[in-house]
């Protein structure tokens, strides 16, 4: 320790220059690393999806990590004994442990298309290391069970499964009644418009007709949305070769093989950080090496002159 202190006293300028270069190198390195972490884990990747602000830690697809009982929030309709011709929007969430994420991803999309559905979105992350994927598809509601059976068959293990249904029958019926009222009101205004003589009356009635038509179009849009969503069920499937990457709580909290993988990944990450620091130091060598050479040259010259 005393050797270091003596060296610092004897080479104050060198020490100050090294501190300055080190400050710029490591400040740039750690700010870059912090940005990547925020972007990956805090920024939607989840950042802002949007906050998930003050929400529990999230896994792929935006589902909370550590909860196997997660069910997306829905507004439940009042119970009814009339179960015929109900309009229900179905959504299903599957977490699957698979041998090949890419193959399973392709089969999920192909199955949806073969059943008369289509892909909504598909995301594949980290394909070279421990790949994870989130796939959302829509299939006809009548074929939802068939699709679920096929998807379960793709998995080495079905980690979690949630099926939810939102009954929108009452809302659909209310909109239908509202639509009839609006159309009747519009018809009355159209009769008044045909009989109006004054320009002021014509403009007033015409404005009311336009407003009513806008409301009618809005209600029709809601009806179409409810009807189409009830006809096509949505399935969201989370895939990974590593259970810890899936949005659920593992049944076994201590698993040596998983801990070993995590330790190896942590070691690789630390080695990368050290390597990055050396790269920054090497790049900045065009500044600090000439400064050091000049400093030692002047120091030696001073000694010789004395």
Dig out the tokens for 23 from the structure: 């400050």
118 within some domain: yes
The span from the CA of 87 to the CA of 277, in Å, is 60
Its domain, for residue 213, covers 68-254
58 within some domain: no
Beta strands, E only, 22-114? 88-97
DSSP annotation string for 102-161: HHHHHHHHHHHHHTT-EEEEEEEE-TTSS-EEEEEEEEEGGGHHHHHHHHHHT-SEEEEE
What are 95's strand-pairing partners? Answer: 160, 238
Residue with tokens 């009839």: 180
pLDDT of residue 237: 92
Q: Is the pLDDT of residue 264 over 70?
A: yes
The residue-averaged pLDDT of 197-206 equals 87
The span from the CA of 37 to the CA of 253, in Å, is 25
Model confidence at 42, in pLDDT bands (50, 70, 90)? Answer: very low
299 within some domain: no
What's the pTM value of the predicted model, to 2 decimals? 0.53
The residue-averaged pLDDT of 68-92 equals 61
End-to-end CA distance of the chain: 30
pLDDT of residue 140: 92
50 within some domain: no
Determine what percent of the chain is predicted with pLDDT higher than 70. 68
Residue with tokens 């950042």: 47
Number of domains in the chain: 1
């Amino acid at each position: 320790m005393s050797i270091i202190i003596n060296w610092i006293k004897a080479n104050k300028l060198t020490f100050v220059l090294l501190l300055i270069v080190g400050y710029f190198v490591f400040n740039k390195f750690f700010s870059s690393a912090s940005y990547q972490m925020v972007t990956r884990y805090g920024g939607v990747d989840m950042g802002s999806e949007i906050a998930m602000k003050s929400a529990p830690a999230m896994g792929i697809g935006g589902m909370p990590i550590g909860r196997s009982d997660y069910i997306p929030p829905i507004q439940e309709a009042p119970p009814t004994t009339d179960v015929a011709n109900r309009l229900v929007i179905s959504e299903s969430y599957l977490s699957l442990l698979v041998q090949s994420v890419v193959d399973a991803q392709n089969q999920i999309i192909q199955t949806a298309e073969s059943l008369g559905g289509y892909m909504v979105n598909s995301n594949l992350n980290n394909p070279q290391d421990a790949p994870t994927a989130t796939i959302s598809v829509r299939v006809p509601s009548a074929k939802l069970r068939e699709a679920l059976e096929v998807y379960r068959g793709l998995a080495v293990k079905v980690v979690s499964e949630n099926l939810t249904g939102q009954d929108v029958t009452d809302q659909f019926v209310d909109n239908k009644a509202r639509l009839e009222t609006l159309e009747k009101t519009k018809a009355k205004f159209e009769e008044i418009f045909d009989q109006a003589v004054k320009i002021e009356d014509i403009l007033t009635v015409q404005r009311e007709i336009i407003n009513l038509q806008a409301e009618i179009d809005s209600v029709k849009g809601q009806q179409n949305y409810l009807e189409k969503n009830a006809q096509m069920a949505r399935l969201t499937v989370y895939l990974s070769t590593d259970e810890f990457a899936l949005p659920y709580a593992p049944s076994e909290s201590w698993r040596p093989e998983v801990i070993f993988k995590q330790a190896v990944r942590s070691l690789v990450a630390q080695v990368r950080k050290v390597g990055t620091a050396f790269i920054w130091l090497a790049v900045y060598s065009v500044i600090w090496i000439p400064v050091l050479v000049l400093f030692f040259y002047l120091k030696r010259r001073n000694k010789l002159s004395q």
